Amino acid sequence: MSSEHDTAKPTPDRPVPGGFDERLARLITIYYAGERKRPGYARLAREISEKTGRAISGTYLWELATGRKRNVTLHQVGVLADFFGVPTDYFVDDEVAARVDAQLQLAAALRDTRVRNLALRADGLSPATLDALLTMVNEARKVQNLPVDDSAGPPPNEGGPGA
């Protein structure tokens, strides 16, 4: 049975399901995270054309990223996927999008030299020491009113009580 929120693949007579605009906007934000200001859609369109050899207009990009247009073609999905380095299924499959978003979040965090240094220096520490560091980081995040990921604790039967 099909629902309004299914993740079926688009076909020529079936548009890409909802969420495309948020996913495209998220990719643009992550791709240009190091810049003080995100580039305009005309510049982004030029960069896409230069990198992929396939044309897309700035206006069309703006319409897709803001949800004003939802009739994206599979060709254009391919162009965007090639440019941003994600699988085409990122735009149409919730599971693929979640997996890629987690990878992009990690890549974005590792752009910060201090985060990268902290991760590299933690390599080789004992499981108990890593757990202690995770606890300290979670407490620091609480102090700064940042979200805390309590699921990042030790895997079952590896470190921690009852192991």
Query: Model confidence over 72-93: pLDDT tens digits?
Result: 888 999 999 999 999 999 998 9
Helix (H, G, I), strand (E, B) or coil at 71: coil
Q: How far is CA 109 from the centre of its chain?
A: 11
Give pLDDT, residue 49. 95
Per-residue tokens: 9 = 């693949």
Per-residue tokens: 163 = 């192991």
pTM (two decimals): 0.67
* DSSP state at residue 161: T
Give pLDDT, residue 6. 42
Q: Where are the domains of the chain?
A: 20-109, 112-152
Q: How far is CA 18 from the centre of its chain?
A: 17
Q: How many CB atoms lie within 10 A of CB 67?
A: 14
Say yes or no: domain 20-109 is CATH 3.40.640.10.
no
